[in-house]
Structure 1
């Protein structure tokens, strides 16, 4: 994060609140010279609570005005992310947002030497109102960084990458990340609990046709890790088979879609379920 780039962008007119918001976001991610910005438009839209299309239009407008430039690409799991650079010199030439402000009259402060002076703006010494600082930037004020949640976001990003590295079938990444974030941040589920369940599910589905494996976003939204997560011991194949057989006997809603014919025949051969139970649960044989 660059306070220098952020300060320059903050006091310049861009002609659009959406353009300004996106440019401020980029400045918060940039180095002091405006370089080193790589973040997906989907993440910008989520953080700014805008539609992805609005962010795309704002980026296009900033590029057309030469306020930012595309300088390269960064590889990511879904292909690549465009790397941008803020053109600081172009930003500095924009009209200032503070040109229309009326400077404080030094006579009202009673102090022409001090940059910060306690005074009452009306000059009324008997006013019941408290004395206020006239200087807009109070000495000792601590500005909290715009990206104070970066540590949390970075941890979640690492967690997302670990999840997708293990999960046997990808799906809609944005929906999956949103569901994982809700589980961790709102429901209080630990990342390791979800990853443990994910690894167990991947082991269970090994060798199955992809069409029998749940999409990642559905698996997370249905909290399927609760059926597979372990805390200490590795998952035993016999335990997994017993859990699957129990789900078939109880006719749980997901078994018809996610238990393959091969898995069902194995359960029948082990006499854990019957052909009738499989058919009743909607499992194809």
Structure 2
């Protein structure tokens, strides 16, 4: 998100209405220099509450006026969309350069006169087909004898996740992921990171939480076998689980999973149904046993600090 570019759109974008709203949505995905814009058509349609065809038509107009420049085309692979950037002159405070009108074509050699078809009394001349440019509903395409503007995107693959940038990486992800003990499934982790889109303050909280939790008994047990994968940790807002991380600590007796996690930290085995027949210990009694151990641990810490 670039507040700087969004402010510029509010102040200087030449058109109004739904096209200006789409320009704001583009700026919401841009960097401060107007680059790295790759939202899907479905995402833009959702943000502006328009149809896909309206969004595609407005994007074509932005490209034709020169305010928006397409720098990469979609390949058809899931997660890869068209990439755009905003005109550099406009970002620097100037005007959008007026695009050159028309298309330069390679001169064609003289051809024979147009063929004439006899249709009775009247003679209907058949016009000579154009050999330099091929046109279609969606614009002009490339031909051996002439080159024209790039064809705008026609469709996007349906996706249930935010697409990754074409060159990989996400702001802050590489630095934080490198400090996380379990680095399995990097692609899933990066996709989840882009869904969370953590602010600078939240990234500081995440770094502090990882630094604290990697020293915990649970994460160091059996060589880190119980460290969750990073995408799971992000989905469960793991930065809220520890003390001193800047987040809100989750109570250990919130549910069965948190109770058994606390029990594991204290060296107890998880509760199972067999305990009912062997020890006649219900889960409530198991929880009370964990609670007593927690209180003893707190008393021991208090004595040690005196």
TM-score by length of 2: 0.35
Question: Would you tell me which structure has more helix in proportion to its own residues?
Answer: 1
Larger Rg: 2
